[in-house]
Amino acid sequence: MSISIFQRCYNWIAGITTPSWLKILFDELQTVIVSTFLNIGKAYLDGLEAQIIKAQESGLSSDAKWQMVFNWGKANIPNIRDSALNLAIELLVNLLKRRSFMKVLA
């Protein structure tokens, strides 16, 4: 029985191995990209937290404070989904409340 051309092609492709230098390169690139994204995310959350504290100290109404923080968040990452930004703000407000940095934002 002969092997079909498709089976031979599949076996040939399955037998190809990636060079180790390419695997190492992709691993290093992935490490750099992930650490960059983590640093960007941390800087964004730190800035959002600072904006929440600034809003708390501003003496504005609760809605104005929320809008101030939300607008800052949208200005710094315009393509963030509103629901994700709302969640981040809520989590940071609750975290700051537990840390007693602020009495009430909302």
Residue ranges of domains in the chain: 20-98
The answer, as to whether pTM is greater than 0.75, is no
In the block, tokens 């960059």 appear at: 36
- What's the confidence (pLDDT) of residue 19? 86
What are the distances in angstroms from CA 69 to CA 19, 20, 41, 53, 60? 49, 48, 16, 9, 12
- What's the confidence (pLDDT) of residue 2? 67
- What's the confidence (pLDDT) of residue 102? 53
- What's the confidence (pLDDT) of residue 32? 86
- Low-confidence residues in the chain, pLDDT < 50: 104-106
